[in-house]
């Protein structure tokens, strides 16, 4: 197979060097279809329609010359080798969970859709789960919950549960199987290709290769406790100080606890609300009991509703799942939790309201719906400590700088008419947050990659040392 692909690529290369990128893509699609029969989806086919299903409609609207749907790591390797030889533009889609156009799509190019790489395999000793890249974080607990096991979920789900004990998802990968730009397949771990292993832990996989398998740490875990009260936004004056105290002092003392909260607009409740999430990996004896770490936060009065739930990870994941369809945008930044952070986080609520009111007014004029969300998620001292294992990750977050809170600006809406306004307003809000934090000596500079807007310089927030090392590894 490899030799026939090289021969096909060499023949095609002589013909296509003078062609446009789109023509080159069309020719490449045809060659790959002949070499990998049944694994290329062309426009107007059923498989093309299936592969065009994205979490955000903004991605689905991009026109691809074709999708390649490999069934194995070898298929991925052969596809990369051919595309590199031809020079056809391509990108990779796994879960397709990026908000903006081109995140895992490419206009008039070729998208390698990893949908068939959906393995979930548990090791004989129950210590490692090998998963294909297309698996979503809802798929893995569905497989592991019946066995009393879990893995560390991805922070992209606003779900840092278990981070206090284990660190982030990238910190719990034992090994990456990767297809390099050369087409070679390598395995990266602390003991093999250690530089690439480090880079893939937060550095953005597409800069280094295509990950075709993750070997992830598994651990014993039963049901999880949740307390989720819903408050009017006016309660932020009590909730924010309690949240900061919890993040700085409480969560580091109880590594099985996690909390975050979400601000949004709910017309049915008459305005802006705060949904406060408190999780604990060890449920109390009865659901109505509150773990000591949450006593202060849970005692704040004035909530509209209070939800208490003891359930498995699958159930909790589904409850905060953001479904497919509609238009979505993300942007993010972070601030340190130091003296003055309580007032800063309170002042940011006003900035959020100005941003949300602007979008809601635009939506009213066009008779559509918009959902503006504002999320505070702590990155505590114990999380930072857990990130240091196995040589650390590429994120550049230092223990000595202290805990921080990541701030996520998320918007859901309906039509393309609001696209530019949403992105512009979110960018303005992020700039205002960064400016206010900088003036008060609280700007952290870090932006979580999967919450970033396409125009944000994520790597600059990793710090010079990490950024330089990533660049060096990517050019090896």
Going residue by residue through the chain, which has 476 residues, state the pLDDT in tens, using 9 for 90 and above.
555 555 555 555 544 544 556 678 998 999 999 999 999 999 999 999 999 988 888 888 888 999 999 999 999 999 999 998 888 999 999 887 788 888 888 999 999 999 999 999 999 999 999 999 999 888 999 999 999 999 987 554 445 789 999 999 999 999 999 999 999 999 999 999 999 999 999 998 678 999 999 999 999 999 999 999 999 999 999 999 999 999 999 999 999 999 999 999 998 888 999 999 999 999 998 888 999 999 999 999 999 999 999 999 999 888 877 777 789 999 999 999 999 999 999 999 999 999 999 999 999 998 999 999 999 999 999 999 999 988 899 999 999 999 999 999 999 999 999 999 999 999 999 999 999 999 999 999 999 998 899 999 999 999 999 999 999 998 87
Q: CA 83, CA 76: separation in Å to the nearest integer?
A: 11
Comparing CA positions, the residue from 134, 138, 164 lying closest to residue 150 is 138
CATH topology of domain 120-221: 3.30.465
CATH topology of domain 224-468: Vanillyl-alcohol Oxidase; Chain A, domain 3 (3.40.462)
Q: What is the token pair recorded at 289?
A: 């009991």
Q: CA 260, CA 272: separation in Å to the nearest integer?
A: 17
Determine the pLDDT at residue 21.
61
Other CB atoms within a 10 A radius of the CB of residue 153 amount to: 22
CATH topology of domain 21-113: 3.30.465
Q: What is the token pair recorded at 141?
A: 């607990």
Q: CA 9, CA 388: separation in Å to the nearest integer?
A: 44
Contact predicate 347/429, CB 8 Å: no
CATH 3.30.465.10 domain range(s) in the chain: 21-113, 120-221
Q: In what order do the strands lie in the sheet with 271-280?
A: 305-311, 224-232, 271-280, 257-266, 371-379, 404-413, 327-336
Determine the pLDDT at residue 158.
47
333: CB partners within 8 A, 6+ apart: 406, 407, 430, 433, 434, 437, 444, 446, 447
Q: CA 447, CA 424: separation in Å to the nearest integer?
A: 18
CATH 3.40.462.20 domain range(s) in the chain: 224-468
Q: What pTM value is reported for the model?
A: 0.92
What secondary structure does DSSP assign to 67-81, as a single string? EE--SSHHHHHHHHH
Longest CA span, the chain: 73
Q: What is the token pair recorded at 76?
A: 């991925």
């Amino acid at each position: 197979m490899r030799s026939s692909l090289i021969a096909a690529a060499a023949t095609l290369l002589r013909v296509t060097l003078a062609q446009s990128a789109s023509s080159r893509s069309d020719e490449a699609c045809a060659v790959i279809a002949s070499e990998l029969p049944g694994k290329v989806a062309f426009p107007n086919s059923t498989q093309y329609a299936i592969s065009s299903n994205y979490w955000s409609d903004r991605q689905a609207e991009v026109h691809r010359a074709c999708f390649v749907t490999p069934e194995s790591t070898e298929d991925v390797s052969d596809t990369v080798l051919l595309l590199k030889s031809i020079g056809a533009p391509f990108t990779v889609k796994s879960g397709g969970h990026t908000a903006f156009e081109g995140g895992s799509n490419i206009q008039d190019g070729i998208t390698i859709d990893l949908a068939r790489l959906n393995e979930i395999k548990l090791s004989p000793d129950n210590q490692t789960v090998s998963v294909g890249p297309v698996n979503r974080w809802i798929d893995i607990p569905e497989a592991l919950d019946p066995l009393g096991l879990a893995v560390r979920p991805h922070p992209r789900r606003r779900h840092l549960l278990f981070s206090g004990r284990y660190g982030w998802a990238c910190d719990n990968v034992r090994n990456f199987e990767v297809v390099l730009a050369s087409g070679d397949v390598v395995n990266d771990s602390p003991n093999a290709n250690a530089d690439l292993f480090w880079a893939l832990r937060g550095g953005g996989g597409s800069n280094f290769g295509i990950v075709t398998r993750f070997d992830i740490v598994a651990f014993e875990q039963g049901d999880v406790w949740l307390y989720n009260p819903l408050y009017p936004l006016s309660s932020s004056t009590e909730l924010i100080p309690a949240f900061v105290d919890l993040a700085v002092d409480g969560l580091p003392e109880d590594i099985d606890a996690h909390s975050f909260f979400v601000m949004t607009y709910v017309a049915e409740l008459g305005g802006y609300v705060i949904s406060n999430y408190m999780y604990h990996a060890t449920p109390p004896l009865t659901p109505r009991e509150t773990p000591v770490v949450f006593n202060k936060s849970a005692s704040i009065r004035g909530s509209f509703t209070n939800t208490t739930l003891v359930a498995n990870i699958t159930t909790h994941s589904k409850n905060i799942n953001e479904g497919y369809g509609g238009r979505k945008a993300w942007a993010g930044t972070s601030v340190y939790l130091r003296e003055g952070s309580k007032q800063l986080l309170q002042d940011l609520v006003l900035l959020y309201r100005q941003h949300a009111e602007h979008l809601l007014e635009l939506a009213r004029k066009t008779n559509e719906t918009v959902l503006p969300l504002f999320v505070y998620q702590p990155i505590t001292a114990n999380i930072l400590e857990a990130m240091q294992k196995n040589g650390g990750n590429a994120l550049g977050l230092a223990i000595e700088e202290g805990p921080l809170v990541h701030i996520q600006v998320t918007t859901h809406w309906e039509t393309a008419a609001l696209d530019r306004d949403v992105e512009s307003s979110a960018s303005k809000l992020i700039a205002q947050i960064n400016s206010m934090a900088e003036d008060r000596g609280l700007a952290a500079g870090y932006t979580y990659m999967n919450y970033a807007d396409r125009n944000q310089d994520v790597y600059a927030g990793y710090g010079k040392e990490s950024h330089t090392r990533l660049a060096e590894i990517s050019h090896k």
